[in-house]
Structure 1
Amino acid sequence: MEKIVVVGAGQAGASCVAKLRSEGFAGSITLLGEEHAPPYQRPPLSKAYLLGEMALERLYLRPESYYAESGIELRLDTTVQAIDRRDRVVIAGGQAVPYDALVLATGSVPRRLPGSIGGELRGVHVVRTLADVDAMAPGIVAGRRALIVGGGYIGLEAAAVCAKRGLDVTLIEAADRILMRVACPETSAWFRALHARHGVRVLEGVGLTCLTGVDGKVAGAILSDNTEHPYDIVIAGIGITPCTELAEAAGLEIENGIRVDARGRTSDPAIWAAGDCASLPFRGRRIRLESVQNAIDQAEAVARNILGAGEDYVPQPWFWSDQYDVKLQIAGLNTGYDNIVMRDGDGRSHWYYEGDTLLAVDAMNDPRAYMVGKRLIEAGRSPDKAAIADPATDLKALLRG
């Protein structure tokens, strides 16, 4: 193994190349990224960075000098056009880059509002890249009217930032409730009330019919309830899709992402994938995990396996979201839950059970509940539901029981 090429200079790609070097790989490493900036953190973009509380350089995962000092060739502003699996080269920026092992860390892209309903108007934004947020920032001005389309975590975080900056904010969610795809009704209700306290109008069961514009700039919206409202800025938080086009064109297997085995290998034994773009086996089914934790852990597992570790990657999912003065921390995956246990402690936590099996925990300003829940889930232990619900229960004692 002499040449390793990583496509995608986000969290997964950066984690992979750093792990290859720290594990002692002495060969050639090339990291190819489409953006102009070196690998950076995405979560603060829509929060601290947009609020002006974090400088650009603090977003960087590592100092830009790290890559040259570590013998990693970092090529920015570089688009990969194709993969030639027979000759084991990628065509990047019109040049052939040979590989012995190739890692696809191509990430995901945000779904955009279609042009047919006005999504091409100026003042309509998505939240994914540094360029997205830099383009949005001048429109986040106190007194302006913002429409947030989508009541997932991205939409709620965008609403929180706009409200904190003094905008008049309306959030619409076409489903029956916010967070419907990812959280229980109790968590949805908790965050609905949080946003209401900060002046955000949350309209559930209401979709977007079309946007209206003046001189090519968004001026308002017609909603599915047949009402029309003026808006100065629109932010779409309607989900993401995995970037699989390069893999598809190369003939790799696709299944809601680039299909990989438990060790991160694709249907081509010389090609691996990690992060948002990868579909991996988990508890008898296939999932994609859209999180920083997975991007780091899976990419590092892939790096070790390229070097011969032969280890299955078993994710231990965790997520977080910051809104106003609330930190939501999530441990586990709640898929399949059939009952919820609510606990009031330092904050509020919601514990997801399937029967008597603990699956996940949502902890709102309750780091103790999050920490204990995460450790219990990772250990495969499920505490008695009555004990969880009882505020007198010492959660840490459950770890010793």
Structure 2
Amino acid sequence: MGGIVVIGAGQAGAALAARLRALKYAGPVTLIGAEPAAPYQRPPLSKAYLLGETDLDRLLLRNADFWDAQNIDLRPNAEVTGIDRAAKCVVLGGERIPYDQLALTTGAVVRRLPPAIGGDLAGIHYMRTLADADRLAPELVAGRRVLIVGGGYIGLEAAAVAAKRGLQVTLVEAAPRILQRVAAPETSDWFRALHLAHGVRIVEGVGLDRLVGTGHVSGAVLANGEEIAVDFVIAGVGILPDTGLAEAAGLALDNGIRVDGQGRTSDPAIWAAGDCASFPYAGGRIRLESVQNAIDQAECVAANMLGAGKDYLPYPWFWSDQYDVKLQIAGLNTGYDRVVVRDEGAARAHWYYRAGRLIAVDAMNDPRAFMVAKRLLAAGRSADPAKVADPAVELKTLLA
């Protein structure tokens, strides 16, 4: 028997393998990861880990002895070079590992700046892996000048870390405002003000024309002609689903590895979960980039690999830490037509509505709003906008 092989040892892969054992699957389980480290958490890399507030041991998803204790064959620092669907095996160096069922939890890779605009210069950093964080950490020296390209959450988190370390921070965003793809103007305005108060310079509506330098980046030229001297660059311009193995194996793709409601790919013996998987949702298809989705979808797929026959229904939530602010997001704001602001001073939340129904919430230092909204959304319920906007109304009464 080949058992179950899982390619990708990130959050989804680790959750899937562990869930198989929790569900009493007794066959062989092989978990293959490209990185040298055992499965670890990624979100703290751009926050606490870069600030030196946590170490690798605290990032690990499981204790070192968990994998052996669960009889899971963990293969770190291993690159799968192909999938032989006809023979039902994966190619790992000179080894061929057979499988009865295969799970792809390959995650995502960062978008890189193109060489045509200087993207091949030294001194350009990305934030996705432990190795990325380890390369970036020595650059964060007070007084140095950093250019951050991209005003999404990764870029803003990097800006917050650099500003806290005393660097001179300039952030450029080609779109008219930061967070434009993921948040309402009200949230963009709130976070812009937060970063400006910490000395970050934010340039919006202006793209990066090119990076300059001899071997190592030393400056940037913006689309408006402005020239900026820099010591290094952090690019946070999004991620792409890692579909290389799936594509080479001839699996169907659709903004990721296309799966059905249960997580099965176009090959009935192969499944996918996490950042790399595109699944049916609300009459269309969606790919969610979040820890919560990686875990929940992977655990659902594990059950379905054992015959549960259950469709995956996500309850999306996300978070971001910047300075002393914890942003918690419940739901998906796609297609919102109204934003209701609840301002309680230290706590603030932006409630998104579509056609009169609550669909999402951005909660800044407001865990009560996040939890109430999360429960409402999970129950398929809405909330009266007038009550939401009134700080005198207790949030918990919205659950009554």
Q: TM-score range by the shorter chain?
A: over 0.9
User: In angstroms, what is the RMSD of aligned CA positions?
Assistant: 0.8
- Alpha-carbon shift at residue 68 of structure 1 (Å): 1.3
AA in 1 matched with 2:173: E
Rounded to whole Å, the distance in 2 between the matches of 1:383 and 1:18 is 37
- Alpha carbons 1:170, 1:200 under 8 Å: kept: yes
Q: Partners in 2 of 1:315 and 1:34 — Cα distance?
A: 27
Match of 2:246 in 1: 247
Counterparts of 1:318 and 1:236, CA distance in 2:
24
Equivalent AA in structure 1 for residue 6 of structure 2: V
Aligned-partner residue type, residue 96 of structure 1: R
Q: TM-score, normalised by structure 1?
A: 0.98
Distance 1:126 1:170 in 2: 16
Q: Which amino acid is 1:196 matched to? A: L
Aligned to 2:367: 367
After TM superposition, the structure 1 = structure 2 runs for residues 225-244 of structure 1, keeping only pairs within 5 Å, are 225-244=224-243
Unaligned runs of 5+ in 2: none
- Residue of structure 2 equivalent to 1:332: 331
Instruction: Tell me the percent identity.
Output: 67
1:49 paired residue number: 49
Structure 1 residues 1-21: Cα deviation after superposition (integer angstroms, max 9, x where no partner): 750000001000000000001
- Give the 3-state SS of the residue equivalent to 2:335 in structure 1: coil
* 1:70 alignment partner in structure 2: 70
Alignment partners' CA distance in 1, 2:29 and 2:305: 13
CA deviations 1:164-192 (Å, max 9, x no partner) are 00000000000000000000000000000
Q: Which amino acid aligns with 2:90?
A: V
Superposition pairs of residues 97-176 of structure 1, within 5 angstroms:
97-176=97-176
Aligned pairs for 1:350-361 (under 5 A) are 350-361=350-361
Residues 2-401 of structure 1 aligned to structure 2 (within 5 Å): 3-214=3-214, 216-345=215-344, 347-400=347-400
Aligned residue pairs total 399
User: For the Cα contact (< 8 Å) 2:2–2:98, is it kept in 1?
Assistant: no
Q: Distance in 2 between matches of 1:223 and 1:69?
A: 54
Asked if the contact 1:173/1:207 (under 8 Å) is kept, the reply is: yes
**2:81 partner SS:** strand
Secondary structure at the counterpart of residue 218 of structure 1:
coil
Q: Distance in 2 between matches of 1:220 and 1:60?
A: 37
* Cα pair 2:219 2:230 within 8 Å, conserved: yes
Aligned partner letter, 2:396:
K
Deviations 1:10-66 (A, max 9, x none): 000000000001110111000011110000000000100000000111111012221
1:117–1:210 Cα contact (<8 Å) kept: yes
**Counterpart-to-counterpart distance in 2, 1:349 and 1:270:** 44
The two structures have a TM-score, normalised by structure 2, of 0.99
- Following superposition, the deviation at residue 115 of structure 1 comes to 1.2
Q: Give the C-alpha shift of residue 90 in structure 1.
A: 0.6
Distance 1:51 1:233 in 2: 17
- Partner-residue secondary structure (3-state), 1:353: strand
Rounded Cα–Cα distance in structure 2 between residues aligned with 1:317 and 1:19: 20
Q: Which amino acid aligns with 1:302?
A: V
**SS of residue in 1 equivalent to 2:49:** coil
Mapped partners of 1:48, 1:176: distance in 2: 30
Shift of 1:105: 0.2
- Segments of 4+ in structure 1 off by > 4 A? none
CA drift of 1:153 comes to: 0.2
Q: Residues of 2 paired with 1:307 and 1:2: CA distance? A: 15
1:211-270 deviations in Å (ceiling 9; x for gaps) = 1113x1111111111011110010000000000111011111100000001110001100
Secondary structure (helix, strand or coil) at the match of 1:336 reads coil
1:92 deviates by 1.2
**Pairwise CA distance, 1:389:** 0.7
Unmatched 5+ residue regions in structure 1?
A: none
DSSP 3-state at the match of 1:330: strand
Opposite residue 287 of structure 1, the aligned amino acid is I
Counterpart contact for 1:123–1:136, Cα < 8 Å: no
Instruction: Tell me the amino acid that sits aligned with residue 338 of structure 1.
Output: D
Report the 3-state secondary structure (helix = DSSP H, G, I; strand = E; otherwise coil) of the residue aligned with 1:322: strand
CA distance in 1: counterparts of 2:356 and 2:385, whole angstroms: 8
Conserved? CA contact 1:155–1:236, under 8 Å = yes
Distance of 1:142 and 1:225 partners within structure 2: 28
